[in-house]
């Protein structure tokens, strides 16, 4: 039997009907048309489905949609400010921190969560925070560099 | 001196070259001919790819030296 | 040193904004109105005859629109080998027997994915189990179960390469050693699984398929063969692709079945594999059993090498035959070996098929060759770098009967890596450095699909409004070929990259290209793009020359939106006024240039080769056997670099995959069942496992490549596993002749060493 789910996603309020077994990632992708978060595995191992739920990074493939009821979600589609990309997105582009791009939304959202909590991380802290994300294309180091650079850009912007 | 393949009549200058041609053929006619000599395609190939040297080809070349020579 | 306007400069990925904003659409994301969801029923047995299939209960399930089995397909066999039809050994859906766990026997289309899954459970298949065989050596025996009709001893293909007199050379060598290896299987693990969305238009009998692929052209041809349709009635479109790495190079059951289901229902049908299927039933790297013998003089000069290989082909030919062939090619790279023999055979087994995977036989070849040459150096008592220098290929070297090496920066690469290794200095206990050299092709001179078309084509249209349309079928699968090829076009035309609009990878509108494999896009498609742009530039220069009215000895240049006299830049015209004139002077015909490229007169393997050297520093924990990667340095000669960050991205990404092959990745199967078909159990290296990687560029100029460029996508997958093995050898003295070097393997080897 379907139940009502209320979510604020990227600042917009939604009310949708979902089955109790529906995963958050499927609501975002199939019902709200936000395809940035991807399903990369069936074991919560890759991080490609990462979104922010109430400010915290979560695997949206491992959460039932109804568990997020009433919550605030940020997906990759909500990061840019209109045509202006977020500094993390700019840094990813400048550092060639993406290749096929399939894991990229999850990586960027996780990077945002990290930098929101720790605006000046060390390289090791970045690697620890991002360790749950698999990338098959880059070998990770260029992503780490992008995140460290994004941290600098965000600090500049705050001054 | 030349050697003719007993199945498809391809001409080779020497029995080793003919053996290389023979084992490179993937069709049943060539493989069936080996059976008439009491050999199996699999045995010869495995010999060639597991032991150093040219043992697989040499086994065949010995037969061709005797049976496939044509003229002078 | 030539100064370029566009190439050689760090350039953002032209697909980057779409990817960082989540707007990029992959087949995985696509939906069409009225779309149905398809699923494939797969055999749970490795080898069995199909006695009967009862689909009636599945068909009655509400929401199920159609169920198909082998009898509902056009019949016959298909596969990539149009050139050798006896190797086309696959069926769309098994009709009489299945040959591996995962072989597809039925397909369902339903209104919801869950309903399709449920329907699979209701299909009743009666199997008669047959004896199965999983080891290629066992499978080649006379009493082994026969997997394909008419294929005796399950021997799929054999390969022989020979030059010189190997046996004579071994007799007079001062040092000879033999080593045997067992090399395991690796999985591609693209983040986007295999998927396909097919839509058949009943009104005109035309099919459109969107799929995650490395080659829309190969898919188009495979579909034509399997569905018995004309190629031109099939349009294959490649959206963004979430990684491929060799696993998406051919035509697969999900693509063909999606098409068939769409034909039967009149609706679009999408099939998406799950991650378990991705691991267990798609292709994998070719496992090999290798015996190798090398002979050298006491000064380290190699006099002879012999390599014998049996590869585990799995149930079908796929492209595993090419992997075997390249094993033979790369096993003598990058050294001048005067006497060489390679014998390999690929044997069918009841495992999932082994096929192409990034490196394509190279990682296997480099593993056996580079570990053996280190040990040979030790036997002789000379430095491992010295022995490599002594035998390393040089420009214009001819590999007998195979290829001519034109540009070759191998020695510069060795020098650069040696300098870095010296800076690492003396290492503490249990740390070691392994060094490796490699060479790799820039696309293969292989035409398994038997196409009459050029290997790469390109079309460029320059418009009066300042925009340029570039049409290419090259497949950007993450490596950045869209950006690199647009850069080549902009450089040749003399325009800004921002003006180029790309139309890519759509068999309905782009000229034929063989796709992304063997690291060929920058080189081969780049040549086609350059030729197409050059055709237009010639027309524009002719018009500008007439208008300027100068003596023909004076050169013209096109740059920064103008075409002008090189020596008197103030004398010129705006680029697009010349474009307008060129169109007007040709009766209004649009300004279109076409180009194509197929290598000619370049031997049997590749038109050009890249070279490199890599050193890896490791630390071994002798209590646990765990190997930690501490530092990696690579020097890669890729000719003229087109886009520097893209090259670095390829080096680092390939190193990650190669390090996985050497350290943690192993597709483990028992009795044909893949046991670790999950990201939780198949170990991919993570952020914290990867050390710092330094990439050093070595610049050469390859005359055959566009602006002198060569590859940088696959060559780098070949060295790291061997470098890790060599580093472990130097750190703790163990010789391990298999991969990956998991903690258990190293631990056992250490224990054995202590005991002896």
In CATH, which superfamily holds the domain spanning A87-158? [2Fe-2S]-binding domain (1.10.150.120)
Q: Does A46 have pLDDT greater than 90?
A: yes
Q: Considering only the beta carbons, identify the residue of A100, A134, A144 that sits closest to C477.
A: A100
Residue C240: its chain A contacts at CB < 8 A?
100-101
Query: In the prediction, which pLDDT does C1 show?
Result: 60
Residues C251 and C254: their CA atoms lie apart, in Å, by 9
Q: Does C18 have pLDDT greater than 90?
A: yes
Query: In the prediction, which pLDDT does C22 show?
Result: 98
A37 Cβ neighbours under 8 A, 6+ residues apart = A25, A28, A29, A48, A49, A50, A51, A60, A75, A76, A105, A106, A109, C22
Q: Which residues 227-256 on chain C approach chain A with CB closer than 8 angstroms?
A: 240-243, 245
Sign, Cα dihedral of A93, A96, A102, A107: negative
What's the mean pLDDT in C4-31? 97
The pLDDT confidence band at residue A3, using thresholds 50, 70 and 90, is very high
Sign, Cα dihedral of C522, C524, C527, C532: negative
Q: Which helix (H) or strand (E) holds C384?
A: helix C384-391
Q: Kindly list the domain boundaries of chain B, sorted by start residue.
A: 2-70
Residues C110 and C375: their CA atoms lie apart, in Å, by 59
Query: In the prediction, which pLDDT does C206 show?
Result: 98
pLDDT digit string, tens, across residues C256-299: 999 999 999 999 999 999 999 999 999 999 999 999 999 999 99
Give yes or no for a contact between C442 and C609, defined as CB atoms under 8 angstroms apart: yes
pLDDT digit string, tens, across residues C97-151: 999 999 999 999 999 999 999 999 999 999 999 999 999 999 999 899 999 998 9
Q: Output the average pLDDT for chain C.
A: 97
C158/B49 CB distance under 8 A: yes
Q: Does C563 have pLDDT greater than 70?
A: yes
Residue C277: its chain A contacts at CB < 8 A?
none
Q: Assign 3-state DSSP to chain B and report helix, strand, coil percentages, each to 5.
A: 55, 10, 35
Q: How many CB atoms lie within 10 A of CB A158?
A: 7
The pLDDT confidence band at residue C311, using thresholds 50, 70 and 90, is very high
CATH number of the A3-78 domain: 3.10.20.30
A96/C274 CB distance under 8 A: no
Residue C680: its chain A contacts at CB < 8 A?
43, 45
Written as six digits, the tokens of C735 are 């010789």
Query: In the prediction, which pLDDT does B55 show?
Result: 92
C157/B26 CB distance under 8 A: yes
Query: In the prediction, which pLDDT does B68 show?
Result: 78
Residues C280 and C658: their CA atoms lie apart, in Å, by 21
Query: In the prediction, which pLDDT does B29 show?
Result: 87
pLDDT beneath 50, residues of chain B: none
Q: Chain C: nearest CA to B70, how far in angstroms?
A: 26
pLDDT digit string, tens, across residues C139-156: 999 899 999 998 989 999
Count H helices and E strands in chain B, helices first.
Answer: 4, 3
HEC profile of chain A: CCEEEEEEECCEEEEEEECCCCEHHHHHHHHCCCCCCCCCCCCCCCCCCEEEECCEEEEHHHCEHHHHCCCEEECHHHCCECCECCHHHHHHHHCCCCCCCCCHHHHHHHHHHHHHHCCCCCHHHHHHHHCCCCCCCCCCHHHHHHHHHHHHHHHHHHC
Beta bridge partners of A50: A59
What's the mean pLDDT in C15-35? 98
Q: Considering only the beta carbons, identify the residue of C192, C274, C687 that sits closest to A102.
A: C192
Query: In the prediction, which pLDDT does C499 show?
Result: 95
Give yes or no for a contact between C643 and C707, defined as CB atoms under 8 angstroms apart: no
Q: Kindly list the domain boundaries of chain A, sorted by start residue.
A: 3-78, 87-158
Query: In the prediction, which pLDDT does C560 show?
Result: 83
Give yes or no for a contact between C518 and C712, defined as CB atoms under 8 angstroms apart: no
The pLDDT confidence band at residue C471, using thresholds 50, 70 and 90, is very high
pTM of the model: 0.97
Query: In the prediction, which pLDDT does C755 show?
Result: 87
C291/B28 CB distance under 8 A: no
Q: Does A136 have pLDDT greater than 70?
A: yes
Nearest CA in chain C to B39: C142
A93/C13 CB distance under 8 A: yes
The pLDDT confidence band at residue C221, using thresholds 50, 70 and 90, is very high
Percent of all residues in chain C with a pLDDT value above 90, rounded to a whole number: 97
Nearest CA in chain C to A109: C20
Whether ipTM > 0.85 holds is yes
Query: In the prediction, which pLDDT does B42 show?
Result: 87
**How many interface pairs between B and C have CB atoms less than 8 angstroms apart?**
65
Residues C209 and C257: their CA atoms lie apart, in Å, by 11
Query: In the prediction, which pLDDT does B24 show?
Result: 82
Residues A125 and C406: their CA atoms lie apart, in Å, by 46
Three-state DSSP state, C438 = strand
Q: What is the dihedral of CA C101, C107, C111, C117, to 10 degrees?
A: -20
Written as six digits, the tokens of C418 are 């040696």
Q: How many CB atoms lie within 10 A of CB C401?
A: 11
Query: In the prediction, which pLDDT does C756 show?
Result: 80
Residues C391 and C437: their CA atoms lie apart, in Å, by 11
pLDDT digit string, tens, across residues A9-38: 999 999 999 999 999 999 999 999 999 999
Query: In the prediction, which pLDDT does C439 show?
Result: 97
CA C398 to the chain's CA centroid: 25
Query: In the prediction, which pLDDT does B71 show?
Result: 63
pLDDT digit string, tens, across residues C354-401: 999 999 999 999 999 999 999 999 999 999 999 999 999 999 999 999
B27/C293 CB distance under 8 A: no
Q: Output the average pLDDT for chain B.
A: 87
pLDDT digit string, tens, across residues C504-513: 999 999 999 9
Q: Considering only the beta carbons, identify the residue of A34, A85, A139 that sits closest to C693.
A: A139
Q: Domains in chain C, please, with CATH?
A: 16-23+455-597 (3.30.365.10), 31-130+191-244+248-280 (3.90.1170.50), 288-446+603-755 (3.30.365.10)
Q: Which residue has the higher pLDDT, C167 or B2?
A: C167
pLDDT digit string, tens, across residues C647-675: 999 999 999 999 999 999 999 999 999 99
């Amino acid at each position: 039997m379907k139940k009502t789910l209320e979510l604020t996603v990227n600042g917009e309020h939604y009310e949708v009907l979902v089955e109790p077994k529906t995963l958050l990632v499927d609501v975002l992708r199939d019902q709200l048309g936000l395809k940035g978060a991807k399903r990369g595995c069936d074991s919560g191992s890759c991080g490609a489905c990462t979104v922010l739920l109430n400010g915290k990074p979560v695997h949206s493939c491992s959460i039932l949609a109804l568990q997020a009821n009433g919550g605030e979600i940020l997906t990759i589609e909500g990061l840019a400010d209109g045509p202006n990309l977020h500094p993390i997105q700019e840094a990813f582009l400048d550092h060639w921190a993406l290749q096929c791009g399939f894991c990229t939304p999850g990586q960027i959202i996780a990077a945002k969560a990290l930098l929101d909590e720790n605006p000046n991380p060390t390289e090791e802290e970045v690697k620890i925070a991002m360790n749950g994300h698999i990338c098959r294309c880059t070998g990770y180091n260029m992503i780490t560099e992008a995140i460290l650079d994004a941290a600098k850009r965000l600090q500049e912007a705050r001054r | 001196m030349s050697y003719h393949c007993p199945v498809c009549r391809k001409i080779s200058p020497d029995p080793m070259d003919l053996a290389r041609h023979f084992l490179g053929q993937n069709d049943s006619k060539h493989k069936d001919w080996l059976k008439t000599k009491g050999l199996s395609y699999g045995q010869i190939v495995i010999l060639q790819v597991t032991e150093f040297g040219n043992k697989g080809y040499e086994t065949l070349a010995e037969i061709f030296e005797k049976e496939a020579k044509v003229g002078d | 040193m030539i100064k370029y306007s566009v190439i050689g400069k760090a350039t953002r990925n032209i697909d980057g904004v779409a990817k960082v904003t989540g707007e990029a659409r992959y087949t995985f994301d696509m939906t069409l109105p009225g779309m149905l969801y398809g699923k494939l029923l797969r055999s749970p047995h490795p080898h069995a005859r199909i006695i009967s299939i009862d689909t009636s209960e599945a068909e009655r399930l509400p929401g199920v629109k159609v169920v198909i089995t082998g009898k509902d397909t056009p019949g016959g066999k298909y596969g990539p080998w149009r050139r050798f039809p006896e190797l086309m050994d696959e069926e769309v859906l098994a009709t009489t027997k299945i040959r591996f766990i995962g072989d597809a026997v039925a397909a369902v289309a339903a209104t919801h994915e869950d309903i399709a899954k449920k329907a699979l459970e209701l299909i009743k298949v009666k199997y008669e189990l047959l004896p199965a065989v999983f080891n290629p050596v066992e499978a080649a025996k006379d009493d082994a179960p026969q997997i394909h009709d008419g294929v005796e001893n399950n021997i799929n293909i054999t390969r022989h390469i020979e030059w010189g007199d190997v046996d004579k050379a071994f007799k007079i060598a001062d040092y000879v050693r033999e080593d045997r290896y067992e090399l395991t299987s690796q999985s591609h693990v693209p983040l986007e699984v295999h998927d396909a969305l097919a839509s058949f238009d009943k009104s005109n009998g035309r099919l459109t398929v969107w799929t995650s692929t490395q080659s829309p052209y190969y898919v188009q041809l495979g579909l034509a063969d399997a569905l018995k349709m004309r190629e031109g009635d099939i349009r294959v479109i490649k959206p963004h692709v979430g990684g491929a790495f060799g696993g998406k190079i051919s035509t697969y059951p999900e693509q063909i079945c999606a098409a068939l289901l769409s034909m039967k229902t009149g609706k679009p049908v999408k099939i998406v594999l799950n991650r378990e299927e991705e691991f267990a039933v798609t292709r994998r790297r070719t496992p090999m059993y290798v015996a190798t013998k090398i002979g050298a003089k006491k000064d380290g000069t190699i006099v002879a090498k012999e390599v014998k290989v049996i590869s585990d082909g799995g149930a079908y030919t796929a492209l595993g035959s090419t992997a075997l062939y390249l094993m033979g090619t790369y096993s003598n790279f990058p050294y001048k070996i005067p006497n060489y023999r390679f014998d390999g055979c690929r044997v069918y087994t009841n495992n999932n098929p082994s096929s192409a995977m990034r490196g394509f036989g190279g990682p296997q070849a480099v593993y056996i060759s580079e570990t053996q040459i280190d040990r040979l150096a030790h036997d002789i008592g000379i430095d491992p770098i010295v022995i490599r220098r002594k035998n390393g290929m040089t420009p214009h070297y001819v590999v007998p009967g195979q290829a001519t090496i034109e540009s070759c920066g191998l020695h510069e690469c060795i020098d650069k890596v040696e300098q870095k290794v010296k800076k690492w200095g003396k290492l503490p206990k249990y740390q070691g450095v392994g060094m490796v050299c490699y060479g790799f092709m820039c696309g293969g001179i292989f035409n398994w699909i038997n196409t009459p078309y050029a290997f790469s084509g390109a079309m460029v249209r320059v418009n009066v409004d300042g925009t340029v349309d570039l049409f290419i079928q090259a497949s950007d699968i993450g490596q950045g070929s869209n950006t690199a090829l647009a850069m080549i076009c902009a450089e040749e035309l003399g325009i800004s990259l921002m003006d180029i609009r790309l139309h890519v990878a759509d068999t309905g509108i782009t000229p034929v290209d063989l796709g992304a494999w063997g690291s060929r896009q920058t080189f081969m498609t780049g040549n086609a793009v350059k030729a197409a742009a050059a055709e237009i530039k010639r027309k524009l220069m002719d018009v500008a020359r007439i208008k300027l009215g100068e003596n023909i000895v004076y050169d013209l240049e096109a740059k920064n939106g103008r075409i002008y006299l090189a020596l008197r830049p103030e004398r010129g015209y705006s680029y697009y006024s010349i474009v307008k004139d060129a169109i007007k002077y040709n009766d209004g015909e649009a300004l279109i240039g076409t180009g194509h490229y197929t290598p000619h007169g370049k031997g049997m393997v590749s038109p050009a080769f890249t070279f490199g050297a890599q050193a890896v520093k490791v630390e071994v924990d002798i209590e646990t056997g765990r190997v930690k990667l501490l530092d990696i340095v690579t020097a890669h000669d890729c000719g003229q670099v087109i886009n520097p960050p893209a090259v670095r991205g390829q080096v680092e990404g390939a190193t990650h995959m190669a390090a996985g092959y050497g350290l943690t990745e192993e597709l483990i199967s028992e009795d044909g069942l893949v046991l670790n078909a999950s990201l939780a159990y198949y170990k991919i290296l993570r952020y914290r496992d990867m050390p710092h990687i330094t990439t050093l560029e070595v610049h050469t100029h390859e005359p055959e490549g566009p602006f002198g460029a060569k590859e940088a996508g696959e060559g780098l997958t070949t060295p790291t596993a061997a470098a890790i093995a060599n580093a472990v050898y130097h750190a703790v003295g163990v010789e391990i002749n298999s991969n990956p070097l998991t903690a258990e393997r190293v631990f056992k080897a250490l224990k054995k060493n202590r005991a002896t």
